[in-house]
Amino acid sequence: MKLSRILAGTAAAALIAVPLAACSNNDSSTSADSTTSSVSAQDVTPSSILSSTAWETTGAKDQNGKDVPLTDKSASNYVGFAYFNADGTFQMYTLEDAPKMQGDWKVSADGKTRTIVSKDDKGTVKFTRDSEIITLTSSEFTYRTYPVEGDKTTYVDIIHTPTDHAQPKA
């Protein structure tokens, strides 16, 4: 089901890209021109979706589908703005624009796991965290956290949506 959500997002992106490629101001109608000016569905990957926008934490739900306040201790650590750069680096900030963490990131080829490697200002690794991706589309990024170590029956899904919030200056 998770993979179907990713594939649905990929298909939706392709359906948008193809008609837009046909809307060109260029009077030339060579296939080479339209090929270079459009993004193919093959170019849309889980990593490209994640790095395509800034993300804001906008919600959290528990294993029963019940809303979890973002101030709750099981969610508050994950709240803020996230900027995943195409070069594999990331920066995260609180909702008040205070720096939270930075480092490297990647998404597995199957789109099921996001890995972040948090680093200090000198590049020393502080920790590595793998998160199960529940939803990754152009309109939502949700990953699962487990508040009780070793207990996979209790979880909180952290929901992010795209934002136009400018990345704070370093």
- The number of residues in the chain equals 170
* CATH homologous superfamily of 45-163: Domain of unknown function DUF4822 (2.40.128.540)
**Residue, of 66 and 14, whose pLDDT is higher:** 66
What confidence tier does 67 reach under pLDDT thresholds 50, 70, 90? Answer: very high
User: Over 80: is that where the pLDDT of 21 sits?
Assistant: no
**Residue, of 41 and 66, whose pLDDT is higher:** 66
**Residue, of 37 and 120, whose pLDDT is higher:** 120
Percent of the residues in the chain that have a pLDDT greater than 90, as a whole number: 72
- Average pLDDT value for residue range 33-57: 75
Radius of gyration of the chain (CA): 18
User: Over 60: is that where the pLDDT of 129 sits?
Assistant: yes
Six-digit token pair at 102?
């930075």
**Residue, of 27 and 70, whose pLDDT is higher:** 70
**Residue, of 149 and 39, whose pLDDT is higher:** 149
Least confident range of 4-18, 84-98, 125-139, 144-158: 4-18
With 0-12 / 13-18 / 19 or more C-beta atoms within 10 angstroms meaning exposed / middle / buried, residue 36 is: exposed
Sequence-distant (≥ 6) Cβ neighbours of residue 81 within 8 angstroms = 54, 55, 56, 57, 92, 93, 94, 95, 97, 163, 165, 167
User: Over 60: is that where the pLDDT of 31 sits?
Assistant: no
Pairing of strands 141-145, 81-84: unpaired
Handedness of CA 100, 102, 104, 105 (dihedral sign): positive
pLDDT at 2: 45
| Nearest CA among 162, 7, 144, 166 for reference residue 63 | 144
Across 35-146, the runs of DSSP E, i.e. the strands, are 54-62, 81-84, 89-93, 99-107, 113-119, 125-136, 141-145
The residues with which 101 forms a beta bridge, in sequence order, are: 92
Spans of all domains in the chain: 1-43, 45-163
What confidence tier does 40 reach under pLDDT thresholds 50, 70, 90? Answer: low
pLDDT at 161: 99
pLDDT at 37: 36
CB atoms within 10 A of CB 100: 15
pLDDT at 32: 39
